[in-house]
Structure formats: C-alpha cells, structure tokens
Amino acid sequence: MEVRVKNLSVSADVVVGRHEDGRELPTLTHTIKTAALKLSSSQHVVHKTILRNFSGVFEPGTITLVLGQPSSGKSSLMKVLSGLPQLELSSRLPQFVSYVDQHDVHFPSLTVMETLEFAHAFTGGELMRRGDELLTNGSTEENLEALKTVQTLFQHYPDIVIEQLGLQNCQNTIKLAMECCVMEFGMKYMTLMDEISTGLDSATTFDIITTQRSIAKTLGKTVVISLLQPSPEVFELFDNVLILNAGEVMYHGPRAQALPYFESLGFRCPPHRDTADFLLDLGTNQQVKYQDALPGGMTRHPRLPVDFGQAFQRSDIYRDTLTRLDEPWKDELLSNVDEFMKFTPVFQQSFVENAITVTRRQMMIAVRNQAFIRVRGFMVIVIALMYGSLFYQLKATNVQVTMGVLFQSLFFLGLGQYAQVPGYCSIRGIFYKQPSQIPWAVGETVVFGSIVYWMCGFVATVGNFLLYELLVFQTLMAFAAWYFFMAAVTPDMHMAKPVSMMSIFTFVAFAGFVIPKNQIPDYFVWIYWLDPIAWCLRAVAVSQYHSSAFDLCEYAGINYCTDHKMQMGEYFLSLYDVPSDKSWIWLGVVMLFYKRYESPEHITLTTESTAPPWVCRVVKKFEPVVIAFQDLWYSVPDPHSPKESLTLLKGISGYAMPGSITALMGSTGAGKTTLMDVIAGRKTGGTIQGKILLNGYEANDLAIRRCTGYCEQMDIHSDASTIREALIFSAFLRQDSSVPDSQKYDSVKECLELLDLQSVADEIVRGSPTERMKRLTIGVELAADPKVLFLDEPTSGLDARSAKLIMDGVRKVADTGRTIVCTIHQPSTEVLMLFDKLLLLKRGGQTVFFGDLGKRAQKMVDYFEAIPGVTPLREGYNPATWMLECIGARVIHVHDNPVDFVDVFNSSKMKHEMDMQLSSEGKSVPVPGSSEVTFALVKRFMDLYWRTPSTNLTRLAIMPLVALGSINAGVGMVFLTSYLTGVVSFNSALPITSEDRPAFYREREAQTYSAFWYFIGSTVVEIPYVFGSMLLYTIIFYWMVGFSGFGTAVLYWINTSLMVLLQTYMGQLLIYSMRSIDVAALVGVMIYSITILFYGFNPPASDIPAGYQWLYTITPQRYSVAILAALVFSKCDNPPTYDTDAQQYVNVGADRGCQPMSNPPTNIDHITIKEYVEATFEYKHDEIWRNFGIVLVFFVILRVMALLSLRFINHQNK
C-alpha cells in the first residue's frame, strides 16, 4: 500500500479572551465568560496551525521514523493518515491501516490471551493472497523461528489479567506488545505507531523495531513509527526519516542522507552525539553547538523551524518527492485495489457474529467485577425484602401507598442504573458497552420484581406478573440507555453525574405520582409523555386496577358505579389522572423499547512554548546523606497460588553517595522500580528482608520519607493548581518550619529556573503535556529540599532533547551535594555519561554489575568486555543498549549467551569493593507548623473547586432548576426537593474527591502533611459552595411556592444547606473508604434507596412498622426534612377553633399550619394542616431545635469516620 500526501495542513480555531498574554485560568467565572464569548458575535478566534503543507510518499516495504519536539505535529499527522479525524474515511481506512496510540487502553479484567482472541475475532478475517503465500511457503526453520519470536512475548503471561500487569515485572513490554498485536490483526497494509517506546528499555525497543522492519520487508507493508529517544542502533534500522518541528517539515527522505543534508546547511553532528538527538536539537536553542562553517552561497544558518522548512523545500530531496507524487500509480498497486481493497467489508464478522462476540466479552468483563456484583446483588435483595415487608399485603383501596410502592420500586431500579455512570465514563475510550447491561437487568428484574410483587400482594395472576416483569425490565434498559447517553455527551464525570441525577429528578417529578398529570403545567406536560417511569407506572397501574379482581362495580361494600359513575379500578386510577384503557399497557411496552446513543470522537490539541535556556542558581548547604542497602529480598504472593510467593529481588546490595547520580538499570522486568520502591519505603505490600541505612544507621519508613524525595513514574498532582502553586505548596509544607518564608519562595524560583518552567509557571496543571508534567514532578520533590532524591523513569515519555535537558538539570541538582538514585530504561549515550554509578539487574532481580561507570562509561565497558563470550562494543554503538544485550535483556533470543553474569559479579573485584564501603551516618527532619499546613491545604482545595467549573457550575445551575421544577409539586414537594438536592450534592462530591485521592496518597507518603490537615481542608472547602448554591435554591423555591416569613426563610436556607452538606460529606466518606468510585456510587444508591423509605413521607411515619423504627431513628435526612416541613406546615402560634354548628374553623390565623385541610382523609371530619402533618408524618414544630442538634451529631459522626478512613485505609497496591 503506497500512501501519497500532498500539501496537507492541519489547523484549529480556538476562542480566546482578549488578555495581553492570552492566558487565563479555567475558573468558574472564566468558564461562564468563555461560554458567553462563544455565543457572542464579537468572539476572538485564534487560528492555530498544527501541520503546514506536508507533502510526502510512504512506499510499501519501507519503514519510516518520525522525529519531533512536543507539539511538532507528529500525532496529528499519524491520526490523519489513519483516517481518525475524517468521518468520511473512518469507516474505510481502519480496514487497511492500523494505528497504535501512545496509550495502551484495554479492558483491565480480561487476560492477555482473551484480549488477543477477541481482537482476532473482530478484525482477523482472512489473509490477503500475498500474505498467505509468504506465511505458508516458508521453510521449516523460518516458520519455527517466527513461532518462537511471537511466543516469546507472551509465554509467561497468557492467563494474567491485564490490570495485574501493573504489579508484574514486564508490564510495559507486555502491554505494548498486546497493543501492537491487537492493531495488527487483519493483515493491515499500513502500520502507524505513535511513540511506542515509552517505558521500554533500549534492547526491547530494538527487538520491536527489528520485527516491524522484518514485517515491512517480508510482507511489503508500509510502516511509520514515531519514537522519542531512539538509540543509534535503532535509528539505523529505518529506511527513511521525517523530522517535524512546530508543524514544519525540516526533512523527509532517506535516513542515510539526513546527516549529509544538514551538513550542507552548516550543521555537523559531533562524534559521540546520537544522530537522533542531534536531529532533534536542530531548530531549537541547542543548535548553536552544532554550527559549522557556512557552505558556499549561504549567508546565515537556519534558526527557526520555518527557516528549516523553507530550506528543505528548496532541496533536491524535496523535488524528488514532488516528482514521485506526480508519477502514475503502479499497475500492481492498482490491481491490488481492485482485487482486495474494494471488496473488503467494514466488519470482518456479520452483525449476529459481532453481537455474540461483544455479548460474550461483556459478560466476561461483568462477571469478573466481583466486588460490584456482590454489592449490587446484596443491595437488590435487601431493598426488595425491605420494600416487601414495609408494604406487606397492602390494600388495593389505599391507592396512594399502592402507587407509591410502584413508583419507589421503579425509582430504586433507575437509581441502581445510575451507579453505572462512572463506569460508562471510564470505558468511553475503549468501546461503548451497552449490551453488557442486559444480563444484569434481567437478574435484577427477576429477583427484585418477584419479591416485591408477591410480598406486596399485587394481583396474583401469572399474566399480570409477567407483564410487570417485562415493564420493569424495559424501564431498566431505558435508564441504562439514558445514562450511557449522558456519559457520552457530557465532557467529564464532574458534569455527567450531577446532570444524570438532575435527569432522575425530572423523571421522578413528572412520573405522575408526586405531581399528578392534571397538576403539571401545560408547558411541562411534554416531559410527562417522554418519561420512562411515567410510561411504566401508567402501564403497571392499568394492568393492576384493570384486572378482573378490580374491574368491577362493587368492592369492599362500596358500589363505585353508583357513587362515582365508574368501576372501582377506573375510579382509583382517576385519582392520579391515569387513563384506564388497556391499550396503555401495550403502548408502555412499545415506548419503553430503548435506543443506544453514541458520540463522535473529539480531538484535543495541546500547545508547547519555546523556552529560554536554563539558569541554575541552586546553592544549598546541608549535611549530605549516604543511603545504603544490604542483602535486600522482596517477595509477593503468587496470584496463581496465594500460598506460595514470588521473589522479585534476591539479595541486592549497594549504596549511593552525596553529589552523585546512581542509575538503576536492567532488562524489562528486572525489578528496577521495585528495588527503588523498597529502598524509598514506598511498598505497601509484600515481604521485605535486609537492611536500609542512612549514614550508617538503620532507618525506618518515616525517617526515609522525611529526608528523601520520590518522583514517581506516573505524574500525579492536584490538577487545578498552577505549576508555581504546586511548587510553593511542596516547599512550605515539606521544608523545615525554621526556614524563612523568603528562602522557601527563593527555592521555588530556583526550581522553576532549573527545570525551565518559568514561562509556564502560572498555567494550570490540568492538560499539561507529558514532558512538562515530568518536569513538574521533579520540581515538586526538589522544592521540598530533600537530601536524597529518587527518580523513577524521569525520561519516560520524553523526546531525546527533553530527556537530555531534564537529566542535565538532575546533574546540577546532584552537584549541590544531594544523593540521587534514578531508574532509567533507554538512555542515550550522552544521558548515560551523566551518571556516576550503575546498579545493573537481570531478570529475576539479581545484581550483575555495581560500580563506577568511569569516563564515558569505560569502566563498565572494560568489565563486560573482560568476560569470555561477550561481544565487544562496536564503534558508535550505545553502551547502554550493548550492556543490556550482553546480559540477555532482549525479548528475542534471551538465552543466547550461556554466561552466568550473577556468578561473575559475585566473584569480582567490584563486588568486594562494594562490600567494603557500605557505611554512613543518620539524620532526621522536623515537621512544619500546623497553621501553615492548614492554610496551604484549605487554599489548594479552594483553588481546586474554583478551577473545576464542571463540578460547581453544574451544581449551581441544577439547584435553581430543582427549585423551579418543584413550584407546582403540591404534596411531597418538600420531601422530593430535599431528597434530590442532597443526592445531587452527594454525587457531585464523588468525582472530584476520587480524582484528588491519588494526590493525597502521594503527598502523605512523602510526609507532606498528615491525614488530619487534609481532612480539615476537604471539610472547609465545601461550605461556601453548598451554602451559596442552596441560597439560590431557597430564593427561588421558598417564595415562589407561597411560603412566607423572612426569619423562617433563613432557617429554611440554613437547614437545607446543612442537609446538603451532610450528604456531600457522606460522598467524601464513601470515596475515602471504598476502593473505587463505582463501588462508592453503588453503596450510595443502596443507602439512598433505604433512607428514602424512612423520611416519614411514604410510608408515613405513623405507618412504619415497629421492626423498622430503628432505621427511621438513625436516618439523618429525616430530621432535616422534619425541620423543613415543620417550619412551613406545622407553625401555628394561635390554633383555630372548630365551630361544630357552622361546621367550620373560626379565628383562623395567617400561619399555613393553622389553615384547615381542604381534602382530609375520609375517616376524618376536620383537621388543620399542622395537626395532620404532626399526626401523620410526625413533623413537629416543637422538635425543630432538637432536630437541629441531632443533625449536628450526625455531622460529627460522619466526619470522624471520614478522618479514620483517611488515616487508616489505603487503596494503593505497591
């Protein structure tokens, strides 16, 4: 497959404000202003060019390397070539072009083998003729070698669940290999791979690129790969190279001609500089050191990317490309199009086969979510039994309770589907998984529906029961489809959850129970006809009251035909304005048939600024710390056999000196990160044996954490902070309290300069590119002024230039006297030269080298070359790659060298020298003051909420809508609005708390602060937002429904705010205590499904059985609802007198509670509103202040539980 591209440009229009610098933080006010700008005709639009006038040819049988700085346009080019942005191509190109993304996204609960099997089932299809000939006509030796190569990647991992690869040694290699295999199924004609070497060592990268080159040459495929830090030997594997910078094409042509071409522009690569690193430095401020004498005819060197782009367009290589673009297509290629490509189906399987495969996969995924299944199953059974026992054998004449049972049952099942919203949001990037809900909906319908139907005493016929089950099942599926649609169209979970909850409120309010149809305003009645609960409730009610048991005139001694001119069932349906014709049953069945919604893919673009040269002024004076470790062993339980253990580290010893950088290297799966986690005291599981010493004294985890900094491979930060704020936060909370504030600010400034972050210091962390996040991670630890700094893969995900710059900065940090230990996968030659010592591990966690590297790594090279059987280092070869190949680190041919490098090292002189030098002294660091910690945490939480507008803007917008939607609610409006405002806030708290939890774990491990101060910050930050949103709610709701009294309104606002705040804190508690947001949401559904029964509204408090009074007593929301209802319905300072002669009340006061009830129950002649509310619902005005006190007690209980969860529960697995 030959790909030709001519004059391709990619750009985007961005709406921006009119500030001088064009930057503004995404705060609540900024979001509102931006939305207004988009609606305004005077909006300021900036045209952003991502790729400019790219022309090129990618020929079959070739492999092309794409190099470029961040935001150079590499990924955009790859996506355009794969057809992702163009809707007209996205349905055809994926059949011929495979695109391997930067991120390995898979279903975590499937095993490696299952993932590959499903990928093959979906896209495998049949081999093209040429591929079939090549793969079947090989020799026996060739076929055996190919089989060994493929099996090597997965032979140890076929039955490992993908999410466990995070704990396995070879996680990056296996995940990448899986991603490549998944995308290669179907024998695609072109392969595009975007930055696939992130997290891999250089030997593994070499093997993967070698395999891709072999595929390109053997099968005639077109392969294009972008890499971040290709070593010289990897670079040599490519046929062509494409260099991009700021959207400009600096070079696109044969790899062998790249260096001569740039020499013709006056740039020469130094002898010991990696070619790829040299090429990436061109067009940046680093190119000065490569400038050579100007060739004849040139007056100056190109400086900017646009200069290089213009120079390339004048070159002979570019003219050859234009010539090839205009050449006619080869006959062989045209015949392949007619023979193979035109008739290639969009999907390799039929619709039925795809549906069966997807259903099987989703069943497998769902069954393995054991915690979710157990909680959900337990919840369904418990709630069903509770509903059945509370409303046991209810009377058909009590239509309010009957309709209430049907309504609340549907509401509970719909709320259960709402718990799926976090899951829907999390898997949008993989596939929309609607079919997986069918088996669970069937199970819930059968279990819940059977218990409730028969215990509550509904019509005892098989036909009515089956109809009830069918309607409930369809309602569940309608809810599942709706929530999936909500997850698809909302930008994130912050908005998806509260908006979905708002939709529940709409469904509930307009279902025809809380507000009967005849009381719904005409301008809202359309919602009633679209409401799935209304259709189900209407259909079930008609099926019950139109059954033979109730479709009669006389019932329980009352002749309804005579008294009400209609039959008994029809009369009770009319009370809720439910049409009685049986056709409504089948209309409900038809209307509840659901549709599936999907949203198109969106493309996100990021920008990168050109930064000035670094300035390093860091000069620290502190007592140096030597860290040593002796005979370290580490083991974890075997996932296949829990009684047995896997030993990951075996007797590792070594030390790191002040002012030096010690590299931890080894093959993928050797235990580098594991070793550093053990040394740094970051392991939360497993068994550790051996000694860790600080200056000669054995250290515990606390001592290690207080004097060390740890930069994790995953960049975890509070994403609403700016970069400067993140550094200030670390400096003020982790440096000694005796250090003056001015010195702490100076250290922040120095960190910004050291890591080249000055130009972006006031930009928000959220959305920053990978390399900036890496620099920030290092900066956060440097700002704490540690004596020892651990770096886990600091160059992972960075291009060669950024990796070199960051390691230059790390070298400067080490020169200040700090001890630095660093794991690294694929260092370039220049990066390797920055290290002082090397600890090299082989697979299985054993040491094969420890000692000084020497000048240009000569001591290490001499050591290995002295071992018999080791191939000497070739000229120009990267010593790091050569070293790993020596010890068998490659994925392919791992057993070629029979030398036992562990035995060789244990008997070497280097091992003896290491044993002689293991000693040092001890030291500790005091904790900063509590007031400083409190202020810093509260400020950061305030910034987080203010700069996460999707959470609070949604909450502030929903509360007025709830108020407006309730002004005509009539009976139950206080109950309904109280319930829903609390649930909305509960669900709003889940995403933002869940996303900040990893940052809390990281900072707690670093001893930045204790759990108590984090708890204080999370407590304080919610108060202004809750009270503010409920003020809007009260202003609209209180006066528009006709309530009166300013003092009462203030109490109403305070109580409503406390009730909402209480439920927000409940959401925080569940996130702190539960492993995932899915389980927390499900537990929340169960709690709210139970507590809704004990608000005292339905069933009324007076009708709650004695066996459930304890639940009524411990339901916190019922006290808040009692306060609200008592404030407006139970206030009557001067009760009226009933005149029996006139049969009416006299001396009726202005208070609402003094008013006579217009339609009292049939067994009561007269009663005031106050008397009815206090007798039936037990909402008593005299108990208002007592109830306030009880609510405060619940506050204390929930917050203490939250603090204990933060302190003692840790959901990390290390």
End-to-end Cα, the chain, rounded Å? 46
The better pLDDT of the pair 631, 953 is held by 631
- Count of all residues that appear for the chain in the document: 1214
Q: What is the pLDDT of residue 896?
A: 56
Average pLDDT over residues 1187-1200: 93
Contact 993, 1001 (CB under 8 A): no
Confidence of residue 1204 (pLDDT cuts 50, 70, 90): very high
What ranges do the domains of the chain cover?
55-341, 353-591, 658-676+705-904, 930-1208
**pLDDT tens, 56-81?**
999 989 999 999 887 788 888 888 88
For residue 1189, pLDDT over 90 is answered with yes
For residue 797, pLDDT over 80 is answered with no
Mean pLDDT is highest, among 341-355, 962-976, 1000-1014, for 1000-1014
Strand order in the sheet with 627-637: 645-656, 627-637, 687-694, 697-698
* Phi, psi at 316, each rounded to 5°: -65, -35
Q: What is the DSSP letter of 65?
A: E
Handedness of CA 668, 674, 676, 679 (dihedral sign): negative
Confidence of residue 289 (pLDDT cuts 50, 70, 90): confident
Q: Which residue in 68, 305, 253, 50 sits closest to 801, CA to CA?
A: 68
For residue 89, pLDDT over 70 is answered with no
Which DSSP string do the residues of 451-501 spell out, in sequence order? HHHHHTT----HHHHHHHHHHHHHHHHHHHHHHHHHHHHSSSHHHHHHHHH
Percent of the chain's residues with pLDDT above 70: 72
CATH number listed for the domain at residues 55-341: 3.40.50.300
Mean pLDDT is highest, among 45-59, 987-1001, 1192-1206, for 1192-1206
Q: Which residue in 723, 621, 800, 1017 sits closest to 197, CA to CA?
A: 800
Q: What is the pLDDT of residue 228?
A: 81
Confidence of residue 121 (pLDDT cuts 50, 70, 90): low
Average pLDDT over residues 231-246: 91
Contact 444, 416 (CB under 8 A): yes
The contacts of residue 814 (CB under 8 Å, 6+ apart) are 659, 660, 661, 820, 836
For residue 536, pLDDT over 90 is answered with no
Q: At what angle do helices 858-865 and 879-886 cross, to 10 degrees?
A: 30
For residue 42, pLDDT over 60 is answered with no
Q: What is the pLDDT of residue 821?
A: 94
Q: What is the pLDDT of residue 103?
A: 60
* Phi, psi at 821, each rounded to 5°: -120, 130
CA angle 585, 591, 597 (to 5 degrees): 155
Q: What is the pLDDT of residue 829?
A: 83
Confidence of residue 313 (pLDDT cuts 50, 70, 90): very high
Residues linked to residue 99 through DSSP beta bridges, in sequence order: 192
Residue 95 tokens read as 């059949």
Distance (Å, rounded) from C-alpha 434 to C-alpha 424?
A: 9
Q: CA distances (Å), 843 to each of 170, 301, 345, 784, 1213, in order?
A: 10, 48, 44, 34, 22
Identify the helix (H) or strand (E) that includes residue 240.
strand 240-245
Q: CA distances (Å), 726 to each of 730, 775, 930, 973, 1149, in order?
A: 6, 12, 19, 45, 61
* Phi, psi at 1213, each rounded to 5°: -120, 105
Q: Which residue in 909, 918, 920, 832 sits closest to 652, CA to CA?
A: 918
Residues linked to residue 689 through DSSP beta bridges, in sequence order: 633
Average pLDDT over residues 165-192: 54
For residue 21, pLDDT over 50 is answered with no
How far, rounded to the nearest angstrom, does the alpha carbon of residue 1097 sit from its chain's CA centroid? 39
**pLDDT tens, 984-1038?**
788 778 888 888 888 888 777 766 777 888 888 888 888 888 888 888 878 877 7
Average pLDDT over residues 664-689: 85
Helix (H, G, I), strand (E, B) or coil at 614: coil
Q: Which of 219-233, 777-791, 884-898, 906-920 has the lowest mean pLDDT?
A: 884-898
Q: What is the pLDDT of residue 167?
A: 37
The better pLDDT of the pair 100, 1112 is held by 1112
Q: What is the mean pLDDT of the chain?
A: 76
Tell whether domain 658-676+705-904 is in CATH 3.40.50.300.
Answer: yes
The contacts of residue 283 (CB under 8 Å, 6+ apart) are 69, 245, 246, 248, 250, 302, 303, 304, 305, 307, 308
For residue 4, pLDDT over 70 is answered with yes
Mean pLDDT is highest, among 367-381, 484-498, 962-976, for 367-381
Percent of the chain's residues with pLDDT above 90: 12
The better pLDDT of the pair 29, 537 is held by 537
* Amino acid at the residue 424: Y
Mean pLDDT is highest, among 17-26, 37-46, 54-63, 281-290, for 54-63
